[in-house]
């Protein structure tokens, strides 16, 4: 699928990239999601996450709101980014974009399933050095399905031809979609809490490694 470079599409892509960057300043995309997180990454209580939230911003002559969810591995690497983008301006449009790590097989795209139902294929629109992004027009039926659902699974296929399913809970999706955008202060607070959690887990992992190395030397 060729990437369309109209102004609103560029606005949507750049806005999503900016939102991801702002939310996860310390995160880098994993090279292989299968090595970074379990299949049901979002249900892992030890996995850092912010859940569903909405951000809004002005970009050029458009108002852009994004309802998003970012799934990271315990090492801080971003595994899957979901963005439901609404662009309001001279041209109005709604887009669903999913970003996954690089080293993906392009033809399979990303399969989206709500509650294990019939899968919908999302073709890749662009692959960059740090991620591949698939997109599809966001319809009212799709939004309704997500609001009613319990979880949504996005499956990409890595270069080893192994499917990488990432399941994300839809708890809180409806409230985030219909509710107001998160305030800058609340987002900053959530970011700090997440950052502190990631640093704590990194320290715990480092200590376990050091303890294991000490134990091995004593044998």
- Judge whether residue 19 has pLDDT over 80: no
User: In the chain, what percentage of residues exceed pLDDT 90?
Assistant: 48
CATH number at residue 136: 2.60.40.1880
204 within a domain of the structure (yes/no): yes
Which tens digit of pLDDT belongs to each residue from 68-113? Answer: 998 887 666 778 999 999 999 988 999 999 999 999 999 999 999 9
* Structural domain that includes position 207: 7-218
1 within a domain of the structure (yes/no): no
- What is the number of domains present in the chain? 1
Supply the mean pLDDT for the chain.
77
52 within a domain of the structure (yes/no): yes
- Judge whether residue 15 has pLDDT over 90: no
- Judge whether residue 162 has pLDDT over 60: yes
pLDDT-derived band at 198, boundaries 50, 70, 90: low
Q: Assign 104 to helix, strand or coil.
A: strand
2 within a domain of the structure (yes/no): no
Structure tokens at 36: 């970074």
- Of residues 98 and 187, more confidence is placed in 98
Residue pair 166/151 in contact by the 8 Å Cβ criterion: no
pLDDT of residue 30: 32
What's the rounded mean pLDDT across residues 129-145? 94
100 within a domain of the structure (yes/no): yes
What's the rounded mean pLDDT across residues 164-179? 96
pLDDT of residue 188: 61
pLDDT of residue 157: 97
Q: Is 168 exposed, middle or buried (0-12, 13-18, 19+ CB in 10 A)?
A: buried
- Give the whole-angstrom CA distance, residue 98 versus residue 148: 20
Residue pair 66/85 in contact by the 8 Å Cβ criterion: yes
188 within a domain of the structure (yes/no): yes
What's the rounded mean pLDDT across residues 179-191? 70
Q: Is 32 exposed, middle or buried (0-12, 13-18, 19+ CB in 10 A)?
A: middle
201 within a domain of the structure (yes/no): yes
118 within a domain of the structure (yes/no): yes
């Amino acid at each position: 699928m060729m990437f369309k470079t109209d102004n609103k599409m560029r606005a949507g892509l750049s806005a999503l990239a900016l939102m991801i960057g702002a939310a996860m300043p310390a995160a880098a995309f994993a090279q292989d999601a299968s090595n970074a997180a379990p299949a049901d990454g979002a249900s892992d209580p030890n996995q850092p996450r912010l859940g569903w939230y909405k951000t809004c911003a002005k970009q050029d002559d458009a108002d852009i709101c994004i309802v998003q969810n970012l799934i990271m591995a315990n090492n801080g690497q971003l595994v899957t980014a979901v963005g439901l983008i609404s662009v309001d301006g001279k041209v109005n449009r709604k887009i669903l974009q999913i970003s996954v790590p690089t080293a993906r097989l392009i033809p399979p795209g990303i399969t989206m399933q709500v509650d294990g139902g019939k899968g919908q294929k999302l073709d890749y629109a662009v692959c960059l050095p740090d991620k591949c992004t698939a997109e599809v027009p966001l319809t009212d039926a799709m939004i309704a399905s997500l609001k009613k659902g319990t979880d949504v699974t996005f499956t990409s296929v890595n270069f080893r031809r192994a499917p990488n399913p990432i399941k994300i809970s839809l708890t809180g999706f409806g409230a985030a979609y219909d509710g107001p955008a998160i305030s800058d202060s609340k987002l900053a607070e959530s970011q700090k809490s997440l950052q502190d959690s990631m640093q704590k887990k990194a320290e715990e992992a480092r200590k376990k490694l050091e303890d294991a190395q000490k134990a091995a030397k004593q044998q």
